[in-house]
Structure 1
């Protein structure tokens, strides 16, 4: 018979292979397009993301017609993207926004700690302030209190967490692990997954860093006294100092889930008390007070809801203990 046979239809295994290739291609190029959006300048980010989308479509069409060539193209793109991604390194030398222009550093001198670049801005609005960076000295043997501040601005599941240390002479300093924005840059949770920001440790006067949130940003800030022994309080303070010096010497990227304000606190707390368990409320930091309550790290003499209600700071509230 001279009639030519129809080409065989793709079998189940071939169809599954093509479907897997399409899924892998979509995931890779979605990631690549988003990474280019956040890594390229505003002049080029749209073009870069569009180019990634076009390249992804090309690989998908090629892969559907010729799966082996499609997989080869995908592997080559993934290898190139990985090399590019690994080449992006954090830096401490950028044109930083004024409020994160300096990270705190310090040293221990006998029983004293000297902190450099303690922020003490006089805020006049949410976006403007008279800048002041100061060198301050604290007596470790006079450390009397440790507080956790939880600041909620939108989604109640997400909060920025800060730690304040009070001393017998009335001195008070607040540590905050924050994103280090460049001048004119805005925070983005998604950008935090794509090396958009560095991490910086800020030490600040409470009248600066807390009042900025309560009085000018309109955030709901709560203050919880932590039940720590003097040895634990001292160790926690020194762990913040060590972490600040590490970031000054070796910059790191902020990462929305794994390296943020709350996970830094948890990592430092584990240096003080290795047995503290991991918990989902470490990530959903708005629920962190419940975690602290369960482990008796804050007061437990009243119901949790009452403690949370009384912890809320009103604008203009007295902050130093």
Structure 2
């Protein structure tokens, strides 16, 4: 009997401290990366949280320790789930103005389309404009993947094309406050609101190809006209709702890739595909779903779909045509 009881006792010795330690790290990080103000309150709450977990770990009586831990966990989740996102913060310049979209019959009125002129990534001239788009003239949706380091992680967004040559790019991003630098870890907590940046391609793609010098790829999605319109209208609905119903961004659950799948009404099993988390492989997933040009194998399509820009190029009024000149979608139509 002793041989059977020893493992159980050993488990009790390490399971509770391990779970307590993991939750203490998570709770402390959640407070540290929260939007609590003023700053001393946020830092003080983080320190007190960590200290309380440490002191609780020193209590010898298991029942007493569990009761205190349960109370602390309950208090944390009450705070966490009542911590609401907001549209009224001191935002970084590129996120200062929210886009909006209103449908009137077959006409879509899009407000605050961003079109910044960049000298450097941080030196730019803000500019916004309004435009109307006719759903009957929606002719394409392009998938853009932009890599800044390695092949596993990329920023992924869509650009909606119209038969008059105009393109409306929409990027799902973290809405960052001016006082915070970007942090990948912070995206796992209530640190950034989620935003749909609605912009001219000269801005949204151009800053990546010509200013940041990232590796940028553009693939045309092969969708029926009905599906194209449904995806576009889903995006527009979310853009409008975010003006009155802000949401938290979450690196795992509500990021640029999962939001694209949600707006496209993707089947659940594909939302759980490993390539959703490793966003650099999103195009590969789209290819396997037969949403891309399958006349090429994926390796060839990927190579041909890279946007190549001349040295020292800057986005001009013909930018959308220029970046598509040598891509498979243009070659196939010649």
**TM-score, reference length from structure 1:** 0.89
Indicate how the Cα distance of structure 1 residues 42 and 312 shifts in structure 2: closer, same or farther if over 3 A, else same.
farther
CA-CA distance at 1:295 after TM superposition:
1.9
Provide the residue aligned with 2:156 in structure 1.
161
Provide the residue aligned with 2:257 in structure 1.
262
Q: Among 233, 238, 245, which residue is 2:233 paired with? A: 238
Question: What are the superposed Cα offsets for residues 268-310 of structure 1, whole Å, 9 maximum, x if unpaired?
Answer: 111xx65884322122111111111112211111121111111
Taking the aligned partners of 2:40 and 2:108, their CA distance within structure 1 comes to 46
Provide the residue aligned with 2:102 in structure 1.
107
Indicate how the Cα distance of structure 1 residues 33 and 275 shifts in structure 2: closer, same or farther if over 3 A, else same.
closer
Q: Among 20, 32, 38, which residue is 1:37 paired with? A: 32
Q: Among 280, 286, 289, which residue is 2:280 paired with? A: 286
After superposition, the CA RMSD in angstroms is: 2.1
Taking the aligned partners of 1:275 and 1:23, their CA distance within structure 2 comes to 32
Matched, 1:173 2:174: no
Taking the aligned partners of 1:255 and 1:266, their CA distance within structure 2 comes to 15
Provide the residue aligned with 2:74 in structure 1.
79
Counterparts of residues 90-101 of structure 1 (less than 5 Å): 90-101=85-96
Provide the residue aligned with 1:57 in structure 2.
54
CA contact (8 A) 1:21 1:70 kept: no
Counterparts of residues 199-238 of structure 1 (less than 5 Å): 199-238=194-233
Question: What are the superposed Cα offsets for residues 141-178 of structure 1, whole Å, 9 maximum, x if unpaired?
Answer: 11112100001112421111111111121211101111
Q: Among 1, 4, 20, which residue is 1:25 paired with? A: 20
CA contact (8 A) 1:150 1:161 kept: yes
Taking the aligned partners of 2:99 and 2:129, their CA distance within structure 1 comes to 10
Larger radius of gyration: 1
Matched, 1:66 2:81: no
CA-CA distance at 1:21 after TM superposition:
2.2
CA-CA distance at 1:110 after TM superposition:
2.6
Taking the aligned partners of 2:9 and 2:58, their CA distance within structure 1 comes to 15
| Secondary structure of 1:249 counterpart | coil
Unmatched segments (≥5 aa) in structure 1: 1-9
Taking the aligned partners of 1:87 and 1:222, their CA distance within structure 2 comes to 40
| Secondary structure of 1:161 counterpart | strand
**TM-score, reference length from structure 2:** 0.86
CA-CA distance at 1:20 after TM superposition:
2.4
Taking the aligned partners of 1:229 and 1:275, their CA distance within structure 2 comes to 21
Q: Which runs of 4+ in 1 moved over 6 A?
A: none
| Secondary structure of 1:319 counterpart | helix
Q: Among 120, 142, 146, which residue is 2:141 paired with? A: 146
| Secondary structure of 2:182 counterpart | coil
Task: Count how many residue pairs are aligned between Structure 1 and Structure 2.
Answer: 308
Greater Cα shift, 16-25 or 187-196: 16-25
CA-CA distance at 1:256 after TM superposition:
0.3
